[in-house]
Amino acid sequence: MSTLSLVTAPLARVPGVAIALIALCAVFAVTSPGFATPANITNILTQSTILLLLALPMTLIIMTEGLDLSIGAVLTFASIVLAITAVTTGSPTLAFLAALAVGLFFGLANGVLIAVFDIPPFITTLGTLGIAQGLSLVVTDGQSVVGIPRSIEAIYSGAVVGIPLPVILAALAYALTHTLLYHTHFGTYVFALGGNREALKVAGISVRGMLIRAYIFGGLMAGFAALLMTARLNSAHPTAGIGMEFDAIAAVAVGGTSFERGNGWLLGTLLGVMTVGVLRNGLNLLAVPSSAQVACIGALVIIALFIDGLRGEQ
């Protein structure tokens, strides 16, 4: 492996995700005439917002050496609850609060099961994935929820001074997460949870409390993303968010956050989200079926983890 590390050592200083993103953009700009147009770029940015809302908390959770496989299913269930509340009460505010409540509940459940009951994160969230998915099916009986008030749809299609509203909301979420991670004690503890958990315990910090907060943050962001997803689809469907957790994990992994050592990089996640968004958009323009896109993203994750593994050896 020593010769391999010789090759990878200089590369490790350049963010691999930036290279990947530029390379993908160049390839699609050449192969597909519709790619490098202002309309399409706005389109990519808008479509990436939901993914970014999931990938931001996923970064924090993976930094604590955790994982949240339930985030896509929670997003789906929150979207269904949001839609049903909006249809029955007619109040978008109440509907949004209901979606946040669903997110809070599942985030808290994940956090307590992981931190207090010591159940490994991937199996905990696999279990809650089944529960959230089951609830979505049970509540809707497999049908779509339609008849959502216009005011909700406007959240996705609206724009302020030419910038799409979802992009503004996603930028606010990014700023919030950045502040949380780099400018609060909580953020410092998140770094320590992955890198040096023992030191936290010695310093008298409640490791359990910090873990629970990280998963609650994930749940709340899924509830927030449910607002954008419902507004985008103008309906809620029990399978709408299935697999979104995979795109989010892919974005975080491609962005260079390590699954084993708790090193995280929030800007990397933003670039990772853009990479996944560009890949999906470009493949769409080239008329590649969405099934093959999933296979491409799967391959992308394995390559990203492979590179991460090589870096870990240095």
Residues that bind other proteins (CB under 8 A): 67, 69, 113, 117-120, 122-124, 126-131, 133-135, 137-138, 141-142, 243, 246, 249, 253, 259-260, 289, 291-299, 301-302, 305-306, 309, 312
Minimum CB distance to other proteins smaller for 99 or for 297: 297
Q: Which residues pair with 159 in a beta bridge?
A: 164
Minimum CB distance to other proteins smaller for 90 or for 298: 298
CB of 231 to other proteins, least distance (A): 26
Alpha carbons 9 and 29: distance in angstroms, whole number: 30
Name the nearest CA neighbour of 52 among 166, 128, 133: 166
Tokens matching residue 211: 């873990």
User: Please, which contacts does 143-147 make with residues 24 or more away whose CB atoms are closer than 8 Å?
Assistant: 143/238, 144/235, 144/236, 144/237, 145/80, 145/83, 145/84, 145/87, 145/235, 145/236, 145/237, 146/87, 146/234, 146/235, 147/87
Alpha carbons 221 and 72: distance in angstroms, whole number: 11
Minimum CB distance to other proteins smaller for 85 or for 124: 124
Minimum CB distance to other proteins smaller for 291 or for 314: 291
CB of 66 to other proteins, least distance (A): 12
The H-or-E segment that residue 130 falls in is helix 121-140
Minimum CB distance to other proteins smaller for 104 or for 137: 137
CB of 1 to other proteins, least distance (A): 10
CB of 24 to other proteins, least distance (A): 18
DSSP-derived letter for residue 305 is H
Alpha carbons 82 and 80: distance in angstroms, whole number: 5
Minimum CB distance to other proteins smaller for 96 or for 259: 259
CB of 59 to other proteins, least distance (A): 15
Minimum CB distance to other proteins smaller for 41 or for 112: 112
Name the nearest CA neighbour of 314 among 265, 258, 255, 232: 258
CB of 310 to other proteins, least distance (A): 9
Neighbouring CB atoms inside 10 A of 291's CB total 7
Reduce the DSSP state of residue 294 to 3 states and report it.
Answer: helix
CB of 126 to other proteins, least distance (A): 7
Name the nearest CA neighbour of 226 among 107, 110, 73: 73
Minimum CB distance to other proteins smaller for 90 or for 142: 142
Tokens matching residue 83: 């839609």
CB of 20 to other proteins, least distance (A): 16
